Amino acid sequence: MRTTATVTAATDRGRSEPALPPPRGPLSAGLLAALTTPGAPAPGPREAATADPYGEDLQLALYLLYELHYRGFAGVAEDREWDPALMPLRRALEERFLAALRADVAPGRTVDEVFGELLVEPLDHEGSVSHYLEHEGELWQLREYAVLRSLYHLKEADPHAWVIPRLRGRAKAAMVAIEYDEFGAGRAENVHARLFADLMTDLELDTAYGRHLPAAPADVLATVNLMTLFGLHRALRGALVGHFACVEVTSSPGSRRLAAAMRRTGAGEAAVRFYAEHVEADAVHEQVVRREVIGGLLADEPHLEADVAFGADATTFLEDRLAARLLDAWRHGRSALRAA
């Protein structure tokens, strides 16, 4: 089944600030008004306290606030990034989201337990998006997957860079080495965000930063918000290292399957290259991040072990929620996007 829900548009490399999306509820509507209307107040903490922590309204509001630290939005002044009037709402949204994660993720796990599980390929592939796309996925589903992942991959590695000044010694040196690869090892054409834009071009998708935000459901926003939440808080540096390590450990086998899916569907050379690049690079990164980044961090700050484990487990929890949504839609022939 071919769906027209996926966006096909000309590449727009000239626009640096994306347009604001439509609201998804009272929190995001109030925040959008505060960002665009002089003197309009932002919603207060009390309004955030009862919102669904994984719901469309809260996750979009948090995403909007976080994007002020990246490219911002067209029509929103750059100095709103740290506007004190917006901070009470951001804090309340973060607390609501983080409390839900801590309630849903098993506490007391060790780093060895967490990564021992991640390093073993599960025998049951029923909940694996990459296995589904490799063997059954159609081109329209790969295009939808690219649309949804563009919210992170067009700024790939940026959220993780915030942890660098909070590390030292072995952990810092290894983290910088991995990030150097992510940012193209000094060559702009090899920056991973650029490679993903090339993948999108092969798939005839608009590559403009933030273009596909209206199409992304809350389960996608939550995966991106998680790394920004960890990145913006020094107290959560261990959790960000755990998140980063989880991504690197699981990336290589998943990327191999996605590269095979791109080849099978004739997606194009650049589409294959993005994932093929990650198969090789992340196989190396996985060793470095476990031995040097985590090992170095815990040698310096052993009390952060529970945070590292939590960061990895929270990542897995949110990725599993997203996978369930995608597979349920695709297996029933439906689009996984919110909007065209």
> How would DSSP label each residue in 273-309?
HHHHHHHHHHHHHHHHIIIIIIHHHHHH-GGGHHHHH
Residue 40: pLDDT band with limits 50, 70, 90? very high
Residue 284: pLDDT band with limits 50, 70, 90? confident
In this prediction, residues 146-171 reach a mean pLDDT of 97
3-state secondary structure 155-210: CCCHHHHCCHHHCCHHHHHHHHHHHHHHCHHHCHHHCHHHHHHHHHHHCCCCCCCC
pLDDT at residue 3, rounded to an integer: 40
pLDDT at residue 232, rounded to an integer: 98
44 sits in the region (left: phi over 0; alpha: psi -120 to 50; else beta) called: beta
- The predicted model scores a pTM of 0.93
What's phi and psi for 162, nearest 5 deg? Answer: -65, -20
In this prediction, residues 188-203 reach a mean pLDDT of 96
CATH superfamily for 111-331 is: Heme oxygenase-like (1.20.910.10)
- 66-119 pLDDT, tens digit per residue, is 999 999 999 999 999 999 999 999 999 999 999 999 999 999 999 999 999 998
Q: CATH 1.20.910.10: which residues of the chain?
A: 111-331
| 301 to 90, 237, 309, 314: CA distances (angstroms) | 28, 11, 14, 21
| Gyration radius (Cα) of the chain, Å | 19
- Residue 1: burial class (beta carbons within 10 Å; 0-12, 13-18, 19+): exposed
Task: Enter the tokens of residue 196.
Answer: 């993903």
- 198-245 pLDDT, tens digit per residue, is 999 999 999 999 999 999 999 999 999 999 999 999 999 999 999 999
Helix (H, G, I), strand (E, B) or coil at 264: helix
